[in-house]
Structure 1
Amino acid sequence: MKPIRNPTKLPRHVLTVTESTKALIIQALDNSPDIRTLEKLHSRIISDPNLCSDTSLSIKLMRAYAASRKPDVTRKVFDRISERNNVICNVMIRSYVNNHFYKDAVLTYKSMLAAGVTPDHYTLPCVLKACSALDDLRFGLQIHCPAVKKGLDLTLFTGNGLVAMYGKCGNLVEARRVLDEMPYRDIVSWNSMVAGYAQNGQFDEALEVCKEMESLGVRPDPGTMASLSPAVTNTSAENVMFVKKIFLDMAKEELVAWNVMIAVYANNSMSTEAIDLYLQMEANGIEPDAITIASVLPACGDLCAISLGKRIHEYVEVKRLQPNLSIENALIDMYAKCGCLLEARKLFDEMQIKDVISWTSMMSAYGRSGKGHQAVELFSKMQSSGLVPDSIAFVSILSACSHAGLLSEGQNYYKLMTGKYKIVPRLEHFTCMVELLGRAGRVDEAYNHIKQMPMEPNDRVWGALLNACHVYNNTDIGVIAADCLFQLAPQQSGYYVLLSNIYAKAGRWKDVTIVRSIMKGRGIKKIPGISNVELHNHIHTFLAGDRSHPQSHKIYEELDILVGKMKEAGYVPKTDTALHDVEEEDKENHLVVHSEKLAIVFALINTEPGTLIRVTKNLRVCEDCHIAIKFISAITERPIIVRDTNRYHHFENGICSCGDYW
């Protein structure tokens, strides 16, 4: 009989087929051996009839292979066992589940029942986890029934599995019923319920469960934060504060808590807070992971925080977090939002794997910067790569054509989408087509396109038409669009302002007064213009007429000098939409202190000559500021990028990339 080939590094004289040998093999299997050692142990076991027939050794061997992510070999060991009990079947099912072979886990469970092996309270949680992953509510129900008959549903692990399964499959009423009937619940029980609501977009209900937990003395843990993460978008300020309270109550070394809180801020238009929290996290010595990076990069893009974005990119490279599709897509999006198209494209070209999101992000970046031809070229390359464009990809290319004035190309893509790819147009596609026609001056066609829609147009569709009416002074259709908007979005101040400006350009001051009177009567206030500019990793925010900044005195002094130079160069303030009963000088004074002008002057004061200036604004750049920034770029010999709610404006030497078409 051959001795064991020393897998445990023990003296050869003890490695004989005895009880002590079996004990040594078990010890080696329990010590998480590497795959090479494991294969040697396996070879020794199957070469000896006494060891090979030992069920306890086979179970140990199965568990070791499962831990080594070798479910296929685990299955081979399983198949060699002639008489199986529920312990052996449980190990096989768990091996499949832990390695994400969920269908195989379900099939093994079915064969276990067919062989007359009775499942126990260890079997069902694993199978329920497989049902959750497969979104198989029907089979989950088939498991629940026998569990109730045998009383297994009252055990903690099975109860938790049922709550998670029903929540994942969208049956929240049944999930809650199971939770309420559980005789004993732990933090996993509650977190499963929170996750069920969150995964189905019911964020308020998820938070109510968190509050219920607290009222019962169950303290939320990092798992609770992780459970909340699928539904952290567009929630109320009150909900954000409650999540923040949970976060503050936790130990600050818990990375998942930081990640979820950053995501909550980033996904709820609180980008400044997301970045501040990320910097706090760094200061506390918490090392970011891939999830952190993917969560904070969109916030960097939203605020044009390019310095921090580049620093995070360097961290990604140092820590070798690439290739990682989520991070790479987030980096492309961040660079694109900061107007760094060359950096975005370089990263895009270097990606080993690209998905539709990668291509769509890059096309969108070109489109919003007015580089429609590059977007068109990229769309063709995506098709050639074998990827099938989805509805979002068509939104990007249609929008790109709209921003660049590529009317015929846009119309052809719309036909391609509906014809070749059989994609049913959504509201986003109709909005793009209205923008495409409207920007091309085809206001009547844009209106007819809306009238032919098979669904009710929303405020974005009518808003696109109203903006076209403003650009091309079409008062008649503008009034129709505004009437629809006041019904669909009665509290959106921007639409009232647009209609007011349409009337003002037409000299219909009485109508201007009526619109502004309606706004006052409904308590609607014009959203203040806010502009952000980054300096030394810090975001500086300016409002129109703002004097709260520490450098305000110097900013206004420099602005007066700059306006004088602009007027000498031919700048004439565009005051035709200001109130008609205000003196011309007052109109000019109001325009000159718009937030983007203050932000640009602040950057001029605090950066070296020739340095690129990046500004983000929460509203569309007004016509006067657009004209003024062209003059500023020429006078100061500075490239300036302004990102408003609609597009990117790259100003250089007195010219804007949009070609005054926005």
Structure 2
Amino acid sequence: MIRFYSTSAKPFHSDHYCKIVSLIDSCKSMQQIKQTHSQLVTTALISHSVSAHKLLKLAAHVSLSYAHKLFDQIPQPDLFIYNTMIKAHSMLPHSCHNSFSVFRSLIRDSGLFPNRYSFVFAFSACGNGLSMQEGQQVRVHAVKVGLENNIFVLNALIGMYGKWRLVEEGWKVFQWAVDRDLYSWNTMIAAYVGSGDMIRAKELFDGMQEKDVVSWSTIIAGYVQVLLDLKVNKIMILVESGHFTSTRLKVGCFMEALDLFNEMLQIGPRPNEYTLVSAFAACSNLVALDQGKWIHAYIGRGEVKMNERLLASIIDMYAKCGEIESASRVFFNYKVKQKVWPWNAMIGGFAMHGKPNEAINVFEQMKVEKVSPNKVTFIALLNACSHGYMVEEGKLYFRLMVSDYAITPEIEHYGCMVDLLSRSGFLKEAEDMISSMPMAPDVAIWGALLNACRIYKDIERGHRIGRTIKDMDPNHIGCHVLLSNIYSTSGRWNEARMLREKNEVSNERKKIPGCSSIELKGTFHQFLVGDRSHPESREIYSFLDEMTIKLKSAGYVPELGELLHDIDDEEDKETALSVHSEKLAIAYGLMNTTYGTPIRIVKNLRICGDCHQATKFISKVYDRVIIVRDRTRYHHFKDGICSCKDYW
């Protein structure tokens, strides 16, 4: 590493030093840092380790590339300065190779001996973006200098293996460690959580003699994230091996997260903002509104300081529990909105509740407050336009994303635009946009167009797109279901039956079954289509029969075209529709709540047309507000009208 420095600098004096140090502390901008840097060079204080280190540390927070140039100008950097530079580069994945280069220069060129912090920062760099080869080299050097058993170094080594998902290697280091502290246990638990192995993570957590807030936060976050991060095929493997539905698997993990949170409140340390973000996420996914309200009140008592991440999680919780007005009140009442997260949560909340104008108003206010949007902002905004039939507005924001904010559209943004055009009936324009995408479209994007073909009964286009999806993924369940639906709604029962039979023979994977859940008094009740496993099943079906009679008297006519089976008898068709999971959940809710209580249902799939129509009648006949969260959005049913205006 070549070093450059002035050979004509004047000797420095103590009064110069005090002034320069004071000047460094007062720097507020890059320009001021550069001016102070030039004074350090001209006064020879660049060779004074304390002043050089202070400026280097400050510069690294503003511009890492400039900090590295400054580092190269320091004539004889000490170990403290080397470690500062190794640490600064280690924190950014794109700069980890520079961290390793500085560490290697420390070993080879400096004449200095690395200390435990040198290895901690170097292992961090390896875990954040380097390969196993560099990591093993650093580990060999730790052995050479006799630091292989240092607890700081061992913890960093475990963390490195955890980030690489080499959890068993990290476990070996953990077992071999002569000394282990609380950080060692937390790091090992985090490694198991990161790999999705919650069984081992929980075993380790239960075996801890001492737990701090990090221990609790890590295990709670693990139960929330492990399912949010799982791919559908992994969920199906767990479903098929454990004989339960994907929805029940998810509910179990989110319930475990809340159970642990409640246990923490009783016997553990006071939760921090990270714990609460995970607890709110669990409430959001369970639609556990009462629990979410209690946690919000807990924060309101001053137990935890509010920040943007926490505020966003509260907004998201209320929105996903169907309380969009409460989410809006929280958003406008709190002032900590200097960062983008609360704005994204509010725009996304309005989008999923079919309130595009409100979402756009929040975005416009965001511009006034000079908060820079990111790619997530535009995904939420375009999604709002999609659910609100706002084609021109969606096109405008898609253009502004590039022209005004220099955000390159990613596949998710194109997916939103295709969904917007498809839902609005512009099927040809949607297909043209897919053809013009700069990246290869995925199955989800083609699937959005295929679903629109079902809605608008464009059989020819749907058949062609179905073949495209089949070429991309021959075993794609959703494609086969949509095509079968298209044929069924058009009365082409033979094609639908042939496709279904072919799918059953050739495909080993199973279609994810429709499942609806309702929470009553802290207990979650789940129903599959035609489900008779509930202890009150006889009463539910008796109530369902009475409810169907009342709905028909009010004018309800079953939409038999939604049925995917070739059933000749009209009565049998009606029976098949009457036992859909959301109808069972709504019936149970009506049976077990007092008049005027809103009914909140979560459906893992898109609500079908017949259930949507039936729920409108139920809300009018029984004078109830019914809130259904399906796979794509929220439906607020009241007085026989849905908030989606029958457009979903």
Is TM > 0.5 for Structure 1 vs Structure 2? yes
- Would the alpha carbon gap of residues 625 and 165 (structure 1) be closer, same or farther in structure 2, given more than 3 Å must change? same
Q: How does 1:288-299 map to 2 (within 5 A)?
A: 288-299=271-282
2:213 counterpart (255, 267, 277) = 255
Question: For residues 443 and 290 of structure 1, do their structure 2 counterparts lie closer, same or farther at Cα, with a shift above 3 Å needed?
Answer: same
Q: Residues 50-86 of structure 1: CA distance to partner in whole angstroms, max 9, x if unpaired? A: xx99xxxx9xxx9xx9xxxxxx9xx9xxx9xx999x9
* TM-score of the two chains, using structure 1 as the length reference: 0.78
What does residue 431 of structure 1 align with? 415
One-letter identity of the residue aligned with 1:295: S
| Equivalent in the alignment of 2:466 | 482
Q: How does 1:3-152 map to 2 (within 5 A)?
A: 89=49, 93=53, 110=71, 114=75, 119=78, 124-133=82-91, 135=95, 137-138=97-98, 140-148=100-108
> Residues of 1 paired with 2:113 and 2:467: CA distance?
57
C-alpha spacing 1:106/1:451, structure 2 compared with 1 (3 Å):
closer
| Selected match of 1:528 from 496, 505, 513 | 513
What do residues 222-241 of structure 1 show as CA deviations (whole Å, max 9, x unaligned)? Answer: 455457759967x65xx232
| More moved, 284-293 vs 580-589 | 580-589
Rg larger for = 1
* Cα distance in 1, alignment partners of residues 152 and 580 from structure 2: 52
Alignment partner, residue 455 of structure 1:
439
- Counterpart position of 1:189: 153
1:421 aligns with 2:379: no
Other-structure match for 2:240: none
185 and 470 in structure 1: CA distance in 2 versus 1, 3 angstrom threshold: farther
- Cα shift at 1:210: 2.7
Deviation at 1:336, TM superposition (A): 1.0
- Normalised to the residue count of structure 2, the TM-score between the two structures is 0.80
| d(CA) in 2 for partners of 1:231, 1:385 | 41
1:660 equivalent to 2:646? Answer yes
Whole-angstrom CA distance in 2 between matches of 1:198 and 1:463? 36
Matches within 5 A, 1:243-392: 243-251=201-209, 253-269=211-227, 270-354=253-337, 355-392=339-376
Question: How far apart, in 2, do the equivalents of 1:420 and 1:213 lie?
Answer: 50
Q: How many angstroms apart in 1 are the aligned matches of 2:69 and 2:369?
A: 39
Q: CA 1:423/1:214 → structure 2, altered by over 3 Å: closer, same or farther?
A: closer
Structure 1 residues 498 and 273 mapped into 2: Cα distance closer, same or farther (>3 Å)?
farther
Tell me by how many angstroms 1:325 deviates.
0.9
Counterpart CA distance in 1 for 2:59 and 2:311 is 26
SS of aligned partner of 1:542 = strand
Greater shift, 216-225 or 336-345, is seen at 216-225
Query: C-alpha offsets along residues 7-59 of structure 1, whole Å, 9 cap, x if unaligned?
Result: xxxxxxxxxxxxxxxxxxxxxxxxxxxxxxxxxxxxxxxxxxxxx99xxxx9x
Cα distance change of structure 1 residues 456 and 404 upon mapping to structure 2, 3 Å threshold: same
Distance between the aligned counterparts of 1:412 and 1:472, measured in 2? 25
Give the aligned partner of residue 571 of structure 1: 556
Indicate conservation of the 8 Å contact 2:623/2:639, yes or no: yes
Shift in alpha-carbon separation, 1:525–1:164, aligned structure 2, 3 A? closer
Q: Is the 8 A contact 2:619 2:638 kept in 1?
A: yes
Conserved 8 A contact 2:488-2:496: yes
Give the number of aligned pairs. Answer: 579
% of aligned pairs identical? Answer: 34
Alpha-carbon contact 2:56-2:70 (below 8 Å) kept: no
Q: Is the 8 A contact 2:585 2:601 kept in 1?
A: yes
Cα-to-partner distance string for 1:389-422 (whole Å, 9 max, x where unaligned):
3222121111111101112221222222233334
CA distance in 2, matches of 1:241, 1:439: 42
What letter is aligned with 2:78? P
Residue 172 (structure 2) aligns with: 212
Letter in 2 for 1:587: K
Tell me which residue corresponds to 1:639.
625
Q: Which residue of 2 aligns with 1:42?
A: none
1:432 maps to a residue whose letter is: C
* 1: CA distance, partners of 2:133 / 2:379: 37
How far off its partner does 1:103 sit? 7.7
SS of 2:221 mapped into structure 1: helix
User: SS at 2:560's partner residue?
Assistant: coil
**1: distance between equivalents of 2:150 and 2:568?**
67
User: Partners of 1:661 and 1:413 in 2: how far apart?
Assistant: 21
Contact kept in structure 1, 2:308 and 2:341, CA below 8 Å: no
Q: In structure 1, what is the Cα distance between the partners aligned to 2:635 and 2:223?
A: 27
How far did residue 659 of structure 1 move?
Answer: 0.9
> Measured at CA, do residues 482 and 350 of structure 1 come closer, stay the same or move farther in structure 2, by a change above 3 Å?
same
- SS for the counterpart of 1:182 is helix
Q: Could you tell me how far 1:310 is from its partner in structure 2?
A: 0.5
CA distance in 2, matches of 1:131, 1:646: 41
Is 1:165 aligned with 2:125?
yes
Q: Is the CA contact (8 Å cut-off) linking 1:163 and 1:176 kept in structure 2?
A: no
8 Å CA contact 1:366–1:375 kept in 2: the answer is yes
**Separation in structure 2 between the aligned mates of residue 629 and residue 280 of structure 1, nearest angstrom:** 38
Is 1:397 the counterpart of 2:360? The answer is no
Could you tell me how far 1:333 is from its partner in structure 2? 0.8
Unaligned runs of 5+ in 1: 1-51, 66-71
> Aligned residue for 2:523?
538
Is the contact made by 1:220 and 1:246 (CA closer than 8 Å) also made in structure 2? no
How far residue 96 of structure 1 moved from its aligned partner, in angstroms, is 8.3
CA distance in structure 2 between the aligned counterparts of 1:225 and 1:151, rounded to whole angstroms: 35
Q: Which residue of 1 aligns with 2:395?
A: 411
Q: Do 1:336 and 1:344's aligned partners in 2 also have CA atoms closer than 8 Å? A: yes
- Measure the CA separation in 2 of the matches of 1:482 and 1:230: 41
- For 2:466 and 2:129, the matched residues in 1 are separated by 42
Q: Counterparts of 2:611 and 2:387 in 1: how far apart (Å)?
A: 19
Partner of 1:33: none
**Secondary structure at the residue paired with 2:517?**
strand
Structure 2: runs of 5 or more not aligned: 1-13, 26-32, 228-252
Structure 2 contact 616–642 (Cα < 8 Å) conserved: yes
Q: Distance in 2 between matches of 1:432 and 1:103?
A: 35
Displacement of 1:192 in angstroms is: 2.2
